[in-house]
Structure 1
């Protein structure tokens, strides 16, 4: 078994920014609600949905996050954007297909604090689970 590659966000991002950004960046940041793979309890996290070539994607840019592990276990979730909630299913994008999606994610969201730095620290596409959204 390989080690889990994940860069934990700093305290300020986890406890302050993650709660405030969805309130002020409603068009850019969505809220993803997934069922915990062990507890079964719902967990909600802010995510930036990537629109690319007519498809929507969730990119775990910090590596193998809990929400990505939860989606692998149960590929159903709720996505709330701008007050509108939809039930989604996802499919994981194979590793060879991830580089153009990661490049598009960097281009779109690289100006946000930490995104480019984390992608530089974790350059391998294998380190970033990516999920195609199916409504």
Structure 2
């Protein structure tokens, strides 16, 4: 049985303050633990929204995990997969492709939690923990959206 999540764990006032500081630093090229800024368009307003993210490089590809679950940025990307990833002055136009039922998803989640579990462990939805085994991650994988970051070329 697969667990699904309709909403994300809501950020606290402190979380919002920390996110703003991390985003500010990433925008200036100082990525705490590899943090970068993701910019996506609002699904209803079209207004750009910026959030700090931790891209994960694995097997020659790069991924984003939403450790809170289905957040607003996830909902926005599901409507329009075009985005920007920024660290300092380096801004990349990208397309985010969700790994819904992809067999790589559990591997990506395990690697992400191994690398950033210390930072995101308290944000995880449901019964997930940073030391969850592969079977637990598979059963609850719908709680954590995962996207592959793909470069946008001139032909896209």
TM-score w.r.t. the length of structure 2 is 0.76
Report the Cα offset of residue 119 of structure 1: 2.9
Structure 1: distance between partners of 2:7 and 2:65: 14
Answer yes or no: is 1:91 the counterpart of 2:93. no
Q: Unpaired runs of 5+ in structure 1?
A: none
Aligned position for 1:118: 123
Deviation of 1:120 after TM superposition, in Å, equals: 6.6
| C-alpha contact (below 8 Å) 2:67/2:125 kept by paired residues | no
Q: Is 1:35 aligned to 2:35, yes or no?
A: no
Partner of 1:100: 107
**How much has 1:3 moved relative to structure 2?**
5.9
Specify the SS of the correspondent of 2:121: helix
| Alignment counterpart, residue 131 of structure 1, candidates 136, 143, 147 | 147
**The one of 1, 6, 9 aligned to 2:8:** 6
Q: CA separation of 1:121/1:107 partners in 2, compared to 1, >3 Å: closer, same or farther?
A: same
Q: 2:79 aligns with which of 66, 73, 78?
A: 73
* Number of aligned residue pairs: 131
With structure 1 as the length reference, what TM-score do the two structures score? Answer: 0.87
RMSD (CA atoms)? 1.9
Gaps of 5+ in 2: 129-139, 152-156
Question: Which residue in 2 is equivalent to 1:48?
Answer: 54
When Rg is computed on C-alpha atoms for both structures, the one with the higher figure is 2
What whole-Å deviation, never above 9, does each CA across 1:77-120 have from its counterpart, x for those lacking one?
011023310100121102353211111111111122xx123337
Greater CA drift, 97-106 or 19-28? 19-28
Aligned to 2:21: 20
